[in-house]
């Protein structure tokens, strides 16, 4: 059996190696903090809970097709791709009742006065900075906006915040809902948290 050599020679000063490794770690940490925001993936369970919640919107009951705009932000890296994937996942799901879902990825800027027709908006994570513009569109278009991002509640741009982890957590922004003219069944409003 060959004799193993020691990893370092006696008396060799390791401090330059340690210093280089520490510097490399510091540079990586700095670069990671400077990288632009990246679109977060949305869990399929969150999307399923969101589509089920649409079944309690009075204006959407008995619809054969529900059109959803999946909104992404301009400064979010991979935002368009992530929104397109989310739109595809939504379109593959069954809607409430016997409805089907059609979904398109759109930017916040596309929610202006000439926006396409949507019955609902699904807000991708990271849109809190665009909250005022989104809330404006929700009120003007009289539609429900849903997100799994709790920051949308603080930005006052989502009517419903829906998360499905160990249990389903739904928070209703009553002020935005009223301003948009979006009404829910009374059973639903009794079961959700209100803000």
- Domain positions in the chain are 44-194
* 57-78 pLDDT, tens digit each: 999 988 999 999 999 988 777 8
Task: Determine the Cα–Cα distance for residues 162 and 45; give it in Å rounded to an integer.
Answer: 10
pLDDT, mean over the chain:
83
Instruction: Provide, rounded to the nearest whole percent, the portion of the chain with pLDDT above 90.
Output: 68
CB atoms within 10 A of CB 130: 23
Pairing of strands 120-123, 100-107: unpaired
* 156-177 pLDDT, tens digit each: 999 999 999 888 999 999 999 9
Check pLDDT > 70 for residue 37: no
CATH number of 44-194: 3.40.50
- What region does 40 belong to: left with phi over 0, alpha with psi -120 to 50, or beta? beta
Task: Determine the Cα–Cα distance for residues 174 and 193; give it in Å rounded to an integer.
Answer: 10
Task: Determine the Cα–Cα distance for residues 91 and 71; give it in Å rounded to an integer.
Answer: 15
């Amino acid at each position: 059996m060959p004799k193993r050599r020691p990893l370092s020679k006696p008396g060799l000063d390791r401090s330059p190696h340690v210093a280089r490794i520490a510097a490399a770690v510091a540079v990586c940490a700095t670069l990671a903090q400077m990288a632009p925001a990246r679109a977060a993936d949305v869990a399929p369970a969150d999307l399923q809970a969101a589509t089920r919640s649409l079944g309690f919107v009075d204006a959407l009951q008995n619809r054969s097709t529900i059109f959803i705009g999946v909104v992404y932000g301009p400064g979010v890296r991979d935002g368009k791709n992530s929104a397109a994937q989310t739109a595809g996942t939504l379109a593959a799901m069954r809607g409430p009742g016997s409805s089907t879902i059609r979904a398109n990825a759109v930017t916040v800027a596309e929610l202006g006065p000439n926006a396409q027709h949507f019955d609902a908006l699904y807000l991708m994570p990271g849109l809190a900075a665009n909250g005022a513009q989104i809330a404006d569109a929700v009120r003007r278009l009289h539609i429900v906006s849903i997100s799994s991002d709790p920051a949308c509640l603080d930005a006052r741009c989502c009517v419903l915040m829906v998360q499905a982890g160990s249990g389903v957590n739904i928070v209703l922004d009553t002020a935005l809902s009223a301003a948009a003219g979006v009404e829910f069944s009374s059973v639903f409003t009794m079961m959700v948290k209100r803000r």
